[in-house]
Structure 1
C-alpha cells in the first residue's frame, strides 16, 4: 500500500509540474517526421491512384485518413528502407480514421498516444505530413477553434496543406501528437481540420461494431428484398436491444412494424428514431404514414406542418406536406404545394405523381397523361415513369396508346410483375380478357416476392369478376390475402367478390373489420352498406351508405342503394330527401332511381 501511495504522489507531482519549453519547428520535424510516412494507394496494375500520409503509433501499426482507401487494391508505405506493404486492419468511417498493419517494423520510434488536453484557439500547432513528391514536410499554424459536430469534436487550424497531407500528424508546440489531419479538401485555403487523437482509443472496437452493424444491415436488406417482415422484426428487435441508440436498428425496427401493418408500434418506433435523429426525413415520412393509417389525419397534417416550419426550402419535406394536404382533402393547397416542389426540383417524381393523382381525382385523366409524358421526357429510362404513363393512359380510356407504350418497354422492364399486370389490364380493355387472365395466372405463380404475387392475383381476381366467374375471383383474391393477410386492398376485393358471388355473410365479416381499420375509407363503408342491404339488414345498411356518401357525395350507385334501403325500411320521407339530393348530383340517375318510387308513393294513401 505504501508503494502505491508513493507512486500516486509522484504522478501528482508530474501532473502539476510545468511543461517543458516549446520546441522549435526544426526540433519538432526531427522528432516527428521519422514516424510519418507517405502512403501510396495503388490500383490493380500497380499504378498510383493517389498519395497521402500515415502516422506510426506502434512498431507495426499506423493511422491514416480513410478517404478513398476503398478504391485501392494495394497500399504501400515509402520510407528510408524503401517500400513496405501495409494492410487495412480496421476503419472507423464515422471519424474517417483507418488503422493499418505493416508487414515489418519501420525502425522509427512510434508516436505516443497520451491523449493530451486540447489547447484553445490561438495555440501554435504543426502539421507534419507527406508533401506529394517532396518527402515529409512541416507547416505551422494556429488552432482556429474546436468544432463540435454530429461526429464529435474536430480541430480547425490554419496551415497551407496539399491533399497528400491527409492522414499526417498534427502536434502541439511541445511535440505531442494531438490529431490526425483530415482531407484538406474538406476545408479551404489555409483552413484545415484534424481528428483529435482521443478518437484513436477504441478505434478497433468501433470498427468491429460497425462491421457487425454492416452485417446486420446486409441481412436486413435481404429480408426486405424477400418480403420477410417477421424475420426483419425479430432481427431488428434483437439489434435495438443490443444497441438502443443505433439509428439503423431503429429504422429497420420501424420498417418491420409498418410492413406488418402494426401501425401503433410503427408510430412508436418512428418517434424513437426522430428522438435519436431529429432531422431524419424517412422517420418523419414514416411517422406521418403511421398516423394516417391509424386515421389520425389531423395529427399527420400537424406533424408535416411542424416539420416544414423553418424548412420551407426543403423540397422533400414540402412534398411530404403536400401529400398530407391531399389526404386531408385540401386539394387546392396540395396542388399548389406540389407545384412548388417541381418548380424547385423538376426531378421530384413523387411530386409529379401527386399532381397526376390529383388530376385523376378530379376526373382529368388527360391531364395526368400529360404530366407523366412530360416527366418521361426528363427521365426517359426510368421504369416508374414509363409504367405510370401506361396506367394513366388506361384511366384516360386510351388502351391502344397504352399498348403501344408497353410494346416499347425495354426487356428488363417488360418482364417485371408491374409491367405484366399493366399488360393484362390493357389486354382486357382491348377485349382480350381470356389472354389477360392467362397472362396474370402465370404471373401470379412466378412473380418475385409475396407482394408482387399478391398484386398479380388480385388483378386476376378482378378480371375473373368482370367475366362473372365468381368462384375463380374469390379463390384468386383469397390467395392474395393468404400471401399478405394485412393487405386491406386484397381483403376489400375479397369481400366484393364474396358479396357478388352470393356469399354475403362471409363478406360481412371482412367489411365489418375494414370499417374499423379504415374508418375514413369511402370504399369500405360503401361495400359494408351494400352487404348489409343484401342481407336485408336495412337499419344497419342505411347509416353505412350515408357514411360513404359523407366522404364522397358523387357516388350515384350508393345513392341508388340508399334509396332502395330507405324504401325497404318504409322511410318515405327519407326516400324523398335522398332523391332531391341525388338529383343535384346526377339528375338522369336520380330519375332512374326515384321516378317509379315517387309514382308509387303518390298512388298510395298517405
Structure 2
C-alpha cells in the first residue's frame, strides 16, 4: 500500500549546498467507511516543482538588459592592453564586475554602445572577487535586481557578457546548483561562460540581475559559476569592513567547491582541516568542514565544526540551520529545534529556516507550532510550492481541514499541471466533506495523467461514498487494467463484489491478494466471512 504524506523536507545541509530530502512514513492513510465495509484510500507524496509568473522570452530578456552590459579594458602602466572583461551598469551609474577583471590595472576604460569612458576602482572585495567601478560621464541603467534566495534549481537563466571583447554575447541555460553563502547563493549554471565573460550579467526569466558570471577552470573542467547579486549590493559595507580586517585567499573556496562537485568528502575534510589550521579565524573553513563531515556521516565531528563556525560568526543564521541538520541526523530533537529557532531569531525572513523548523516541529508532534512556522515561510516566499504543501499536510494531520484545503489550493495554483498535487487536494476536500470538489480534483488529476492508477482508486472511493456504485466499480477496474497488482484497487473491488454477493469474483480477488499482499488478503478474508456468512462469522 502507498505511504501517507508527510511534509517535504528542504533541510539545509551546508553553507553552500542545499539538499532536498523527502521524509515519509510507512503508514496507510486509513480507510473510508461505506455501509458495512472497509474501503482503503490512497495518498501520495511528490517532490516539489516550482512555477513562477509568466516568464519573459529570451528575446525580451535580451532587449531589456543588453543596454546594461559593458566591456572593460584593463591596461598596464605603459598603456598596453592586458585583458578584456565584462561588467554590468548599475542604476547608480557605477559598473559592477569581478575583481580579477581589473586586477593589476594601470588604467581602466569602459565601452558601451561604441563609446569609451574612463573608469577608476570604486568599492573592492577581493575575497568575494567582486568590485565596482566609478565611470565618468556614464548615466545609470534601469536594471532590476533579483534575489538569489528565491531561486530554484532547474530555473532558466541567461548570461550576457563580452568574451574576447565581443560585445553582447548571449547564452542560456538552467541553474544546476545553488550554494549557500553569506547574504545569498552562489549559482552554478549550465549557461556557457567564456574567458572575457567574467563580470557580465546572469539574469533570471524576468530580466532581473541575479549574479555576475565568473569563468573558472579547475583540473581540466570548466565550472560555470555566478556570484550572487547580493554581493554587489553589499559592496559598500564589505569594502569598509575589509579595508579594516583584510581578506582571505578566495582560492580556498574554489578548491572546496571543486571537491564538493566530485563528492570527494575525504579530500574536502583534509583541505578544510588545512584551511582551518592556516586561518583558524575563518568561519567558512569550519562551516565547510562541518558539511564534509556531515556527508561522511561523522555527526559528532560535524556538530563540533559547526559550533566552531558559530563561535566565530554567531550572527550567521545559516550556520545555525546547518547545526540543526546535524542535530536532526543524530536524533537530538530538542537541540535541533533550538538551532532552527536561533536561525530565525537572527533572520526572521529566512524562509528555509522556518521550513526546517516546521519540519522539526512536525516530527516532534507539535503540529500547531509547525503550522505557525510554515505560515512564516509562505509569508516570506508565497511562490514556494513546497512550503504550501508542507503546511497542507500538517493542517490535514492537525484536523484543520479548511486550512489544508486552502494550502493545497495554493499548491495546485503554483503547479497546475501536476497530477499528484491535485490528488492531495482531492483527499483534503474529502476530509472536509466537500464531495463534489473532491471528485472534480481527482478528475483533474486524471485529465493531466489519464493512466494515473492511484487517482482512479481515490476516485472510486469518492464515487462509493457518493452512492455512484457503477462509476465506483468502473474506476477500480480501470486502475487494475493499468496496474493489475494495485493492492488497494484489488481490495476495494473485492469489497464491492462482497457487498453485492458476487462470490466468485470475490474469490478471484482473494486469490490474487494472497499472492501480492498476504496481509491484505487476511483482512479481506475476514470481511468475506462477515458479509457472506454472518452467522458463521459470529
> So what's the TM-score if we normalise by structure 1?
0.38
> Whose helix fraction is larger, Structure 1's or Structure 2's?
1
> So what's the TM-score if we normalise by structure 2?
0.41
**CA radius of gyration, larger in:** 1
Structure scoring higher RCO (CA < 8 A, sep ≥ 6) equals 2
> Whose strand fraction is larger, Structure 1's or Structure 2's?
2
